[in-house]
Structure 1
């Protein structure tokens, strides 16, 4: 809940600390700015007149929830959680704060919080439909709608570990909010991820050089804490799961729904599909 993490949240306009008001129906700062808490339990913290884009639609969020709830990405969540646990423990914090950027429905963050006793979580996503689910994903999660490119509405040196799973990154802001010794744990798609679906469905492939670009962007703010590692496994997916996977991804914007349905109907009842990601741990300089 927001009241459990309000001590680390910051006014996105001037960076000052926030506190709850009117039984946490609002968050307010000493400078007089006020941010309404939605009835679903999330708060929008944006410095401008509005967010630059809306993020995942309700349909994409629903597809994500369906796909992840079936456990297809379990090896990914286990690997991310394992490394975040080590990173949080290394800081020595009694109640480590875990931040997930691009938290979506809270699938990864909830698993992490269950694995770290006394931890608290802040989930940030730009999508309001995602934030509504995120706010209810775990009793120790505070859900925030914000744009990572605009900045993170958290106070300096307040977060023990940051997890980012197939989501945008802002290295300068990550370094600012991390405590000394804290780490960022990123999972990015690797070449070959979901390749069995690319040709029959016409969906997007993984760009070349993703890891190299990420490290270049982090230069001056973060450095590698360990060698990147590969996480690879095979999923056996039926047509409904494949449809949900495509529906939760950027490919949902690039294939007409009617065309996608026709292509899905031509697939076999089940397919073996490769999931492949690179796990990267970084610490601030």
Structure 2
């Protein structure tokens, strides 16, 4: 799918256009830099020296894909897709007009693939810093192009080149999101809310969700975006067996700080199954 995205992609160093010499890469910028396309189909669009430890490990990626594939976060997935569809409806985008959806921090592409299934005229750009995630991301949907890139730096896309950006439980780079969207383009952000997975976090010693997280994003976004409606509260119970609990914890970066032996001991002390509350806040923002 990278072959069909050359009108969107850009050199992450200077933003110049990228061209593809032949199917399968590499991509080449006007400045002469080249960027490889992996055999599984993802492009590595990072400046030299990116710390790959910033991304999820293979074990974390496997745990996330397993957990999501069991439908535990289905209300989150449906809410994000519905927000994208609503954004396109609000913009009165014709059903036969191609649109480009960028998922920043796409992981394995689970959310983006679901959205592409519902928006038939869309193509997707999934960005993640993890090459292990990108291996699955590149295969997640036939209309999806996978990129390995640093969300904290310059995004490897051209100015005003995408119609909608989604950010699901991922770092946000508001200036870059604004640059990538045209005026009126939509940014959809799903963040964890207070109470999210508290039944797991508290007994396992994992930090609780910071209540200021969403408000900090809303405040910072004001320079570039206007809010569309009020934040949507998405909360629901999940009944998790021991394996699903283990996968949920394994996919979480916040669990890395706990000694593995201690973490396993705490996991063994949890009920099987147990009911856990998922809680997120969904923001829809319009590019000024």
1:63-78 aligned at under 5 Å gives the runs: 63-78=63-78
1:161-176 aligned at under 5 Å gives the runs: 161-176=164-179
Q: Which residue of 2 aligns with 1:148?
A: 151
What's the offset of the Cα at 1:74? Answer: 0.1
Inter-partner Cα distance in structure 2 for 1:23 and 1:202: 48
Inter-partner Cα distance in structure 2 for 1:15 and 1:163: 21
After TM superposition, the score normalised by the length of structure 1 is 0.96
What's the offset of the Cα at 1:217? Answer: 2.0
What's the offset of the Cα at 1:50? Answer: 2.6
Inter-partner Cα distance in structure 2 for 1:53 and 1:284: 32
Q: Which residue of 2 aligns with 1:36?
A: 36
What secondary structure is seen at the aligned counterpart in 2 of 1:121? strand
Q: Which residue of 2 aligns with 1:112?
A: 115
After TM superposition, the score normalised by the length of structure 2 is 0.95
Contact 1:97 1:160 (8 Å CA) reproduced: yes
Among 160, 172, 190, the alignment partner of 1:157 is: 160
128-137 or 83-92, larger mean C-alpha shift: 83-92
What's the offset of the Cα at 1:24? Answer: 2.8
Deviations along 1:227-254, whole A, 9 cap, x unmatched? 1010000000001101100111122212
Inter-partner Cα distance in structure 2 for 1:252 and 1:4: 38
215-224 or 165-174, larger mean C-alpha shift: 215-224
Inter-partner Cα distance in structure 1 for 2:209 and 2:169: 11
> Does residue 249 in structure 1 map to residue 267 in structure 2?
no
102-111 or 11-20, larger mean C-alpha shift: 11-20
- RMSD over aligned CA atoms reads 1.4
Inter-partner Cα distance in structure 2 for 1:11 and 1:114: 29
Inter-partner Cα distance in structure 1 for 2:86 and 2:181: 15
Inter-partner Cα distance in structure 1 for 2:274 and 2:238: 8
Distance 1:218 1:52, change over 3 A: farther
Q: Which residue of 1 aligns with 2:79?
A: 79
What secondary structure is seen at the aligned counterpart in 2 of 1:214? helix
Among 111, 136, 139, the alignment partner of 1:136 is: 139
Return 5+ residue gaps in structure 2 as ranges: none
Deviations along 1:104-135, whole A, 9 cap, x unmatched? 00000000000101210000001110111100
Inter-partner Cα distance in structure 2 for 1:63 and 1:113: 23
1:10-21 aligned at under 5 Å gives the runs: 10-21=10-21
Contact 2:52 2:129 (8 Å CA) reproduced: no
Between the two proteins, the alignment pairs up a number of residues equal to 285
What's the offset of the Cα at 1:219? Answer: 2.7
Contact 2:202 2:208 (8 Å CA) reproduced: no
